[in-house]
Amino acid sequence: MIASVARLFGTDGVRGRANDQLTPELALRLASAAVSVLGADANSRPRVVVGRDPRASGELLEAALCAGLAAAGADAIRVGVVPTPAVAFLTADYGADFGVMISASHNPMPDNGIKFFGAGGHKLADDVEDAIEAAMDAPAERPTGADVGRLRDAPDAEERYLRHLAASVDARLDGLTIVVDGANGAASTVGPHAYEAAGATVIAIHSDPDGLNINDGCGSTHLDVLQAAVLEHGADLGLAHDGDADRCLAVDSTGAVVDGDMIMAILAIDMHERGELTDNVLVATVMSNLGLHIAMREAGIEVKVTGVGDRYVLEELRAGGYALGGEQSGHIVIPAAGTTGDGVLTGLMLAGRVASTGTRLADLAAVVTVLPQELINVPVSDKHAVAVADTVQDAVRVAEAELDGSGRILLRPSGTEQLVRVMVEAGTADDARGIAERVAAVVAAV
């Protein structure tokens, strides 16, 4: 088998094991190349917002990135540990030429990542990322003397972001008790502060990051502790973020999980009722459950489908001028309030719907009847080559024939890890699991 040539950039920036695949040398080169591409049209010395999540390797990579920015003649505005959507917002709020977030999102602690935002806080198009990658090997003159870039800290960054959140959501949360799982990540402080400022009584868990415990058995990828805490405290709901807080998943008062599809349905109906859902359209990815499509159709809302990744949701939102989109994983994008997925903003809006209607989250989420779904992540050596292998594609065709329109199968390489994801929806959980396991076994054997 011939290995495929992968781009340095994945679906959400550059990721890898910190100080192994993702080295400080690579970070420095990336930063300098980004200045040459994203700072090329700056009227004066380029200004760059730099933020990170609390994982230990973020300190190392922040130092390397800032060195690369300064070496290329750009000034770095260090905003410290903040959510990814805060970096996007602050890039626009400070009038910076671009922003950089150091985070591997929901990935385990040894991993890290570097993602860029263009002017205004927008994610980069593929061709811009390709230009940065090409510029990494291009010769460049380095400035000297007064032209070398400078570094400064921004002590008001978190407060600016909190003010932005408060201004974006007018609903009050008075009377609600909310358990908030910060994943020992970037939302550990800002999340509870935002919900408390809106009037909620907050019980914070996994909000003590030490650089090593981010996403460790907690957050949006490990909801069992949050479920138990909601029941223990008799809370109205629980909200779980991932390491960089661009995701939000929820738990209702009965301890049941409310996933991104259900959250999108709740928010879409809310915005539809208030006349704020542009063209009555919700944007979702191919990973969203068929149950979401059925619920939206019954509510008079059209679902436009994109590829996997919030960047593709964003592209569709911007192209159509739509008001709401997201992913089953909890990335929810509301363009009127931000340029990227924002977990804390999503949590505020979801809790606001509970408070304003006086309706339990369980009852709001019941609008979506979820078709049984099985997702198996298969570790492989070359995810792109394996996904298109003849034996794998034959297995997919057999599965589609077996489902015969009563469900669906989706097979795709992960955008951030060396995995092939096999997802099956079927009429019963046993059917979904059986088909997924058979296809996954073929994938693993390639």
Q: What is the DSSP string of 179-234?
A: EEE-TTTTHHHHHHHHHHHTT-EEEEES----SS-TTSS-GGG--HHHHHHHHHHT
Does 105 carry a binding-site annotation?
yes
Reduced to 3 DSSP states, what percent helix, strand and coil does the chain have, rounded to the nearest 5? 40, 20, 40
Contact between residue 371 and residue 291 where contact means Cβ atoms under 8 Å apart: yes
Does 242 carry a binding-site annotation?
yes
For the question of residue 220 being annotated catalytic, the response is: no
Tokens describing residue 337: 């309030």
The order of strands in the sheet holding 151-153 is: 14-17, 111-117, 98-102, 47-52, 75-81, 151-153
Question: Is domain 160-365 classified as CATH 3.40.120.10?
Answer: yes
**Which pLDDT belongs to residue 4?**
40
**Which pLDDT belongs to residue 281?**
98
Does 210 carry a binding-site annotation?
no
Pairing of strands 111-117, 98-102: antiparallel
Query: CA-CA distance, 15 to 11, in Å (whole number)?
Result: 10
Distances (CA, A) of 428 to 370, 424, 431, 442: 11, 11, 5, 22
Query: Consecutive 10-residue runs of the chain (446 residues): their mean pLDDT?
Result: 58 91 96 95 92 97 98 97 98 97 94 96 93 91 95 97 95 96 97 98 98 97 97 98 97 98 98 97 93 94 91 92 96 95 97 97 96 93 94 96 88 87 93 96 96
Extents of the domains making up the chain: 14-154, 160-365, 373-445
Contact between residue 316 and residue 304 where contact means Cβ atoms under 8 Å apart: yes
Does 174 carry a binding-site annotation?
no
In DSSP terms, 17 is beta-bridged to 111
**Which pLDDT belongs to residue 170?**
86
Q: What is the DSSP string of 149-190?
A: --EEE-TTHHHHHHHHHHHH-----TT-EEEEE-TTTTHHHH
- In terms of CATH, what superfamily is 373-445? Alpha-D-phosphohexomutase, C-terminal domain (3.30.310.50)
**Which residues 6+ apart lie within 8 Å of 419 measured at CB?**
377, 378, 379, 380, 383, 413
Phi, psi angles (nearest 5°) of residue 127: -70, -30
- Would 160-365 and 373-445 be classified into the same CATH topology? no
Across 110-126, b (16+ Cβ under 10 Å) vs e yields ebbbbbbbbbebbbbee
Taking the domain 14-154, which CATH number applies?
3.40.120.10
Phi, psi angles (nearest 5°) of residue 196: -65, -40
Tokens describing residue 433: 């699991």
Pairing of strands 332-333, 325-326: antiparallel
Q: Please, what is the end-to-end C-alpha distance for the chain in angstroms?
A: 9
Distances (CA, A) of 402 to 407, 425, 442: 9, 12, 16
Tokens describing residue 61: 């990579």
- Say which of 36, 57, 105, 329 is annotated catalytic: 105
